Structure 1
Amino acid sequence: MPELPELTALAAYLDARLAGATVVSVQFPTAFALKSTGFDPDILVGRSVRRVHRHGKFLVFQTSAATDSAEYADEGGALSIVVSFAKAGWLRLSAELPEIKDAPEPEPGSKSAPGYISARFGFSNHGTDFEVELTDAGRWKGLAVFIVHDPEDVPGVAELGPEALDPGFTLEEFSRFFASKQRIKDIIRDQKRIAGIGNGYSDEILHAAKLSPLAAGASLDPESVGRLYTSMRQVLGDATEALEGLGPDKLKAAKKASMAVHGRTGESCPVCGTTIQELAYVGTSFQYCPGCQSGGEILERPAARGSMEDGE
């Protein structure tokens, strides 16, 4: 699942190319990616892009009205395209508009090709045509697109907690989340508590903080909570800086290459040399270093508690 660092870089990359562009085409090859029903997608055609930005793990294309008429004179006339990439969604950007063809329906129960297209948007900006394709490589299609007046009209956006890197998100506020018995990996991935962290970077943050993913929040002393907060800021901040300027075709590979433990089962920990382990859950898994994080113990799947269902 795309997370705060790569979505920040993606939004900036798109904004540099699409701010001021006119929407010239909209297509949903299959209907289920469009989750909002308040607007016909064609209402976007002719509107201009004000900016592209990130909100939590959502990508937002903010558009203005295509006309200066009184009907669209206020903010109520503006619309936003809000994208949730879910577990296996991503985006392709091209500078030419190829012939648009409907995507074939996948066979029931089969895996689709990585290029399965959920939606297409065409843009024109000062003589350059761009096409944005939203793709979903997952077996079960989770990528979702919402067309709304305000991103806050999307329930997942409205429920977001503070941004993980927001300067106003203090250690004191962060510490309040660790009074429960919920596992700390689940706590820092809960978007209603902290916006922007998914399965991959939670593995990296916990490794940097030298904490077990299965530790209960209430088991952490103030020093451990402070170390976790510092690690969160450091890991996400460094990753965001490292990915700056990269296009969508390079971001996923750059993220993967930067990971110390996530996705590196069986490799040696770059800190202590211990073999990195994996613990599987229904629908997801996580990686950790026993030497750095669990006192040498190989973790076992505990009795069901909390949630780890939106893995990467």
Structure 2
Amino acid sequence: MPESPEVQALVDFLADRAVGRRVGEVDVLEFRTVKTRQVPPSTLAGQTVTGAERHGKHVALAFGDEKTLVVSLGRHGWMRWREPGDEATVAADAPPALALFGLDSGQTIEVTDAGSWVSLGLHVVDDAIAVPAVAKLGPDPADPAFSPNDFDVALGGRRKQVKAILQEQESLAGIGNAYSDEILHAAKVSPVVHAAALDDGARETLYTATVGTVRGAIEAQRGIPIHELKAAKVAAMRVHGRAGEACPVCGDTIRDFSFASTTAQYCPTCQTGGSVL
């Protein structure tokens, strides 16, 4: 699942390469991706890209006609940049393109989805805030203005697992399963502890870990080619996806734990007082 660090790198890439270029042909190959049927992506043909922004895990491309294309990447969505004539360089097992936006300079922006079901969404709106999922987003830990108070409000005194709150986009924007594992490991907090059980010191530590993990990952992925971002994310993980390996902090074995509709990787010594969940 793309999370804020990867999506920010994608947005930076598009801001550098697509802004100022005019969209020519638009070809939607999977019509289930279109969420604004009255204003489909084809209406962007002939318009110039004027800006690129990130909203949580969503990409927003602004156009000269005061329209915005919001790409909700969902669970398996991504965007691929094609230079003229490089079609042969795409791997045979690469995710299929569900929509194509040809640029007047010859490049193509491909919107892809690697899942067995379509999680990608394309919205053409006057403003990104018109997309319900964007309108409901909570504060973003990558925002310099994000404060300990914002974090405390998100946690509240809720009897809900902190890992779930970290991934809850209405509470905190941009974090998914992978970075929530990394944050909890850095803060030495169990993935199943409830927000209500955290004292002031634990909340402060968790806030610091959240901001440090998200912003550190954004900085680390700055400038990485967008087709290499997934591999860079996987390589940078300390506990997520590392079940059976040694914890880089204490050397204990990283464990896997499944609950509700998700999984977590954690270190028993660092996070659960030695208990195996």
Same fold (TM over 0.5): yes
1:129 CA displacement: 1.5
Mapped contact 1:268–1:275 kept (Cα < 8 A): yes
Distance 1:25 1:97 in 2: 17
The answer to whether 1:118 aligns with 2:106 is no
1:217 matched to 2:195: yes
SS of match in other structure, 1:228: helix
Deviations 1:265-288 (A, max 9, x none): 111110111111111246532211
SS at match of 1:51: strand
**1:13 to 2:13 alignment:** yes
Quickly say closer, same or farther: Cα 1:291–1:254, change in 2 above 3 A: same
Partner of 1:93: 81
Specify the alignment match of 2:46 in structure 1: 46
Distance 2:260 2:117 in 1: 14
Deviations 1:65-109 (A, max 9, x none): 2xxxxxxxxxxxx1111111111111211111679xxxxxxxxxx
CA contact (8 A) 2:81 2:110 kept: yes
1:229 match: 207
Distance in 2 (alpha carbons) for counterparts of 1:266 and 1:178: 34
Bigger-Rg structure (1/2): 1
Flag structure 1 segments of 5+ consecutive residues without an equivalent.
66-77, 100-112, 300-312
Q: Distance in 1 between matches of 2:160 and 2:43?
A: 44
CA change 1:283–1:96 in 2 (3 A) is farther
Residue 124 of structure 2 aligns to a residue in which SS? strand
CA–CA separation in structure 1 for the residues paired with 2:33 and 2:179: 26
Partner Cα separation in structure 2 for residue 97 and residue 79 of structure 1 = 30
Moved more, 33-42 or 49-58: 33-42
| CA displacement, residues 213-264 of structure 1 (integer Å, 9 cap, x when unaligned) | 1000000000000000000111111111110011211111111100000111
Distance 2:111 2:262 in 1: 23
Whole-Å separation in 1 of the counterparts to 2:136 and 2:108: 31
Report the secondary structure of 1:250's partner residue.
helix
Percent identical across equivalent pairs? 41
CA distance in 1, matches of 2:37, 2:259: 34
Q: Detail structure 1 runs of 4+ shifted over 6 Å in the superposition.
A: none
**Structure 1 Cα separation of the partners of residues 41 and 211 of structure 2:** 38
Checking the alignment, whether the CA contact within 8 Å between 2:41 and 2:69 is kept in structure 1 is no
Is residue 21–residue 48 contact of structure 1 (8 Å, CA) maintained in 2?
yes
Aligned to 2:90: none
Selected match of 2:71 from 63, 74, 83: 83
